[in-house]
Amino acid sequence: MKAAHSGSRACSRTAKAVRMVATGPHRYRVAATDEDPFLLVAARRKPCGFTLRGRGNSKLIFPMSDSTNPKLHQKLVRLNRNIYLGRAYVHWTMTVQDRATDWLSETHHFRLRECLLHVLARYRLACPVYCLMPNHAHFAFIGIDGLSDQLDAIAWLRREWNHLLAPRRLQRQAYDHVLREKDRERDAFADLVGYILRNPVRKELVEEWSQWRYTGACFPGYPKLDPRSRFFWSNFWKAYEEQSERMKH
């Protein structure tokens, strides 16, 4: 069974719930997690299995099985590589294996931020927001010029982050949401960044998102950029335009 992921992010690799969905004359088993229910939009039968089309960009592969075991293994299939090159806007989510929660600290945050600055400089990217949660993390990356490469950047970041996490590790794959053109408009993009920043509030870890210590922005050469600042967006876009022009020469 093949499926596109739902909404702004994909289902977890291990399904925690299974429900039956009726579409026309057929019934399909659809995996969902407690936090990220799979939202079915359409389904089509194929000789090799099923194609389920949801809302989003990346796809999830569900193996064909008659078992009612809810722990269905899934493999994330990326879009065409070109989608992640150049001035792409992508929301990345990475989860610690077994959802371990004993790694997050001020020291870890500092060391991961250092790795993040290196990867952004190396692959010509900007990160207007990241948010480290107790068992996962969110990053929004924007390509600065035509040579930006987010797939290579994420592979490099995950490798370095796994060194910091040892003996823990990240789950096998990161999940991504590639923003469409209308979602890249500045107001729409600011809404996505706000959604990421409010994760700790939704999890009742803090009352105000600005109180969460493990969130911020990263842009090599601009150490004072902070989403908590009143003038963050004007300063961020000014920096982004400066670097975009510099990369042209």
CB 68, CB 18: distance < 8 Å: yes
Mean pLDDT of 149-171: 96
pTM: 0.70
Burial class (CB in 10 A: 0-12, 13-18, 19+), 58: buried
How far apart CA 52 and CA 54 sit, in angstroms, is 6
- Residue 103, classed as helix, strand or coil, is coil
Per the CB < 8 A criterion, the answer to whether 38 and 54 are in contact is: yes
| Cα 225 to Cα 15: distance, rounded to the nearest angstrom | 38
Looking at mean pLDDT, say which of 9-23, 29-43, 198-212 comes out highest.
198-212
pLDDT digits (tens, 9 = 90+) for 178-217: 999 999 999 999 999 999 999 999 999 999 999 999 999 9
Strands, sheet with 89-95, edge to edge from the N-terminal-most edge strand: 175-178, 89-95, 136-143, 125-132, 215-218
Q: Which domains does the chain have, with CATH numbers?
A: 2-77 (no CATH), 81-247 (3.30.70.1290)
**CA-atom Rg of the chain in angstroms:** 19
DSSP three-state, residue 141: strand
The more confident residue out of 49 and 125 is 125
- Supply the pLDDT for residue 78: 63
| pLDDT at residue number 77 | 60
